[in-house]
């Protein structure tokens, strides 16, 4: 990682940190929800299925946010779109702290989804266009590792808040902290530069940009990329949305204990993202994803179904987090390399986020099945099925490692 970073230009480094910070703060906002599920169930008197629906709504609207956010980046510029999307998800998360009814929370989570779905698409394509091809996988894998940073911060904040604040107030304090990402907009505004390709696309009508990914030249990539997104997001959503609840209610761990288990998985997720980026640049996108998808299936089934002791679960938590990181860490580079400049942001946003439309059903399905077969089996079956879709999709996509984008040199200043 240090080699590519030391070779980077000042613009590449500023872009990296802006994208890294945006994704970390995005994760902070989103992951606070899964950690607050028990408190929300008590506060609003809802079922696990209702709580899962909140997560599903966020994912569903995140899909549309990614598609439209990517198109906004193609049409009006990556940096402008990035500022708008960061502000959207930060303000929506902050507003969740003041929700008085379950319906209000559903609406606010939907708005939050629009923002965080769009933010990833804008930041990922901006990075892909600025970073040189030989380092694209490593750089974008490192950016994806920022999710672990934000996730870890959410775990620490939740442990602190729920230790010192009453439960009915604690979840509101967590969501109020979601305003912090808005500070990143100042850095984005001052430090980044629009790639020339994004500026050149301004003459294209917005609807034409949205529909361009269904042109026959790129339709196959769009369809298979959408299947990839379903599997990647479905597996992640099935596994992580109810994982804190599983550790507390099934494994009977305290908040501090479950935070310790999550810490192992989060550190592993960070390491997995960085490692996946390095491997992706060395052996190619397809082989890298196939390896991590297969490992995810095996690890999830063992973690959920094997009769493990608490100590063994702690040990296995590292490969669980490590392998689950490899898939999302590879998506930005792979999807960016599938599309031409005029619809690159739209294509990346659609493929990454289309999966959220279908995968939005996974948290609800886990909650629904948990009442019939138990929470653990529900998580394991849904996650393994989802990761199998990733394996099928990547085998149908072309190898894109090392692809040179248009006017690449012009973006490094």
pLDDT digits (tens, 9 = 90+) for 212-260: 788 888 899 999 998 998 898 888 778 777 776 777 777 776 554 556 6
Query: What was the pLDDT predicted at 65?
Result: 86
Whether residue 271 contacts residue 325, with contact meaning beta carbons closer than 8 Å, is answered with yes
Q: How far apart are the first and last CA of the chain?
A: 21
Whether residue 23 contacts residue 120, with contact meaning beta carbons closer than 8 Å, is answered with yes
120 within a domain of the structure (yes/no): yes
- Split at pLDDT 50, 70, 90, the class of 408 is very low
5 within a domain of the structure (yes/no): no
**Residue 124 token pair:** 């990922």
d(CA 339, CA 185) in angstroms, rounded, equals 28
Q: Do 160 and 27 sit in the same domain of this protein?
A: yes
- Split at pLDDT 50, 70, 90, the class of 201 is low
Last residue of a domain, one of 162, 181, 200: 181
Q: Do 20 and 140 sit in the same domain of this protein?
A: yes
Residue 237 belongs to what domain range? 210-403
191 within a domain of the structure (yes/no): no
Last residue of a domain, one of 143, 162, 181: 181
Query: What was the pLDDT predicted at 189?
Result: 63
Query: What was the pLDDT predicted at 410?
Result: 41
83 within a domain of the structure (yes/no): yes
Q: Do 293 and 399 sit in the same domain of this protein?
A: yes
Whether residue 330 contacts residue 393, with contact meaning beta carbons closer than 8 Å, is answered with no
Q: Do 142 and 218 sit in the same domain of this protein?
A: no
d(CA 49, CA 41) in angstroms, rounded, equals 10
Query: What was the pLDDT predicted at 237?
Result: 78
Last residue of a domain, one of 131, 161, 181: 181
d(CA 248, CA 237) in angstroms, rounded, equals 18
Q: pTM score, two decimals?
A: 0.77
Q: Do 176 and 116 sit in the same domain of this protein?
A: yes
Q: Do 54 and 177 sit in the same domain of this protein?
A: yes
Q: Do 42 and 162 sit in the same domain of this protein?
A: yes
93 within a domain of the structure (yes/no): yes
**Greatest CA separation found in the chain?**
61
pLDDT digits (tens, 9 = 90+) for 278-332: 999 999 999 999 999 999 888 888 877 877 777 777 777 788 889 988 898 888 8
Q: Do 214 and 174 sit in the same domain of this protein?
A: no
Q: Do 246 and 289 sit in the same domain of this protein?
A: yes
199 within a domain of the structure (yes/no): no
204 within a domain of the structure (yes/no): no
Number of domains within the chain: 2
Q: Which CATH number does the domain housing residue 247 bear?
A: 1.20.1250.20
Q: Do 153 and 234 sit in the same domain of this protein?
A: no
pLDDT digits (tens, 9 = 90+) for 268-286: 889 999 999 999 999 999 9
Within a 10 A sphere around the Cβ of 207, how many other Cβ atoms?
A: 10
Radius of gyration, CA atoms only, the chain: 20
Which bin fits 77, alpha (ψ -120 to 50), beta or left (φ > 0)? left
411 has a pLDDT exceeding 50: no
SS (H, E, C) the chain: CHHHHHCCCHHHHHHHHHHHHHHHHHHHHHHHHHHHHHHHHHHHCCCHHHHHHHHHHHHHHHHHHHHHHHHHHHHHCHHHHHHHHHHHHHHHHHHHCCCCCHHHHHHHHHHHHHHHHHHHHHHHHHHHHHCCHHHHHHHHHHHHCHHHHHHHHHHHHHHHHHHHCCHHHHHHHHHHHHHHHHHHHHHHHHHCCCCHHHHHHHHCCHHHHHHHHHCCCCHHHHHHHHHHHHHHHHHHHHHHCCHHHHHHHCCCCCHHHHHHHHHHHHHHHHHHHHHHHHHHHHHCHHHHHHHHHHHHHHHHHHHHHCCCCHHHHHHHHHHHHHHHHHHHHHHHHHHHCCCCHHHHHHHHHHHHHHHHHHHCHHHHHHHHHHHHHCHHHHHHHHHHHHHHHHHHHHHHCCCCCCCCCCCHHHHCC
42 has a pLDDT exceeding 50: yes
pLDDT digits (tens, 9 = 90+) for 84-129: 888 888 888 889 989 999 999 999 999 988 887 888 888 888 888 8
226 within a domain of the structure (yes/no): yes
d(CA 335, CA 343) in angstroms, rounded, equals 11
Q: Do 170 and 216 sit in the same domain of this protein?
A: no
Q: Do 96 and 217 sit in the same domain of this protein?
A: no
């Amino acid at each position: 990682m240090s080699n590519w970073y030391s070779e980077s230009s000042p613009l590449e480094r500023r872009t990296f940190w802006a994208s890294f910070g945006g994704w970390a703060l995005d994760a902070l906002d989103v992951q606070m929800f899964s950690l607050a599920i028990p408190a929300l169930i008590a506060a609003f008197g809802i079922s696990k299925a209702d709580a899962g629906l909140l997560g599903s709504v966020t994912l569903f609207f995140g899909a549309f946010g990614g598609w439209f956010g990517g198109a906004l980046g193609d049409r009006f510029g990556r940096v402008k779109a990035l500022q708008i999307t960061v502000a959207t998800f930060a303000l929506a998360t902050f507003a969740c702290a003041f929700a008085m009814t379950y319906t209000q929370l559903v609406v606010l989570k939907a708005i939050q989804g629009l923002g965080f779905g769009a933010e990833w698409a804008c930041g990922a394509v901006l990075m892909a266009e600025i970073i040189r091809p030989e380092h694209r996988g490593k750089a974008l894998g490192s950016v994806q590792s920022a999710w672990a940073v934000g996730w870890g911060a959410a775990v620490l904040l939740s442990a602190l808040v729920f230790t010192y604040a009453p439960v009915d107030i604690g979840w509101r304090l967590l969501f109020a902290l979601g305003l912090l990402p808005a500070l990143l907009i100042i850095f984005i505004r001052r430090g980044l530069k629009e790639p020339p390709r994004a500026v050149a696309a301004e003459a294209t009508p917005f609807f034409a940009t949205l529909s361009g990914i269904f042109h026959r030249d790129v339709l196959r990539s769009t369809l298979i990329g959408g299947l990839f997104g379903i599997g990647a997001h479905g597996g992640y959503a099935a596994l992580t949305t109810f994982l804190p609840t599983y550790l507390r209610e099934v494994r009977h761990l305290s908040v501090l204990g479950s935070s310790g288990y999550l810490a192992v998985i989060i550190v592993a997720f960070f390491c997995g993202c960085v490692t996946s980026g390095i491997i992706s640049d060395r052996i190619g996108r397809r082989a890298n994803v196939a390896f991590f998808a297969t490992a995810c299936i095996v690890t999830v089934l063992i973690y959920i179904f094997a009769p493990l002791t608490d100590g063994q679960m702690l040990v296995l938590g590292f490969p669980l987090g490590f392998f689950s990181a490899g898939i999302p860490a590879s998506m930005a580079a792979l999807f960016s390399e599938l599309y031409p400049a005029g619809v690159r942001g739209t294509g990346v946003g659609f493929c990454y986020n289309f999966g959220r439309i279908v995968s939005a059903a996974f948290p609800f399905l886990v909650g629904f099945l948990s009442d019939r077969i138990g929470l653990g089996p529900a998580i394991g079956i849904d996650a393994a099925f989802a990761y199998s879709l990733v394996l099928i999709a990547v085998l149908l996509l072309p190898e894109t490692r090392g692809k040179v984008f248009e006017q690449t040199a012009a973006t490094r200043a």
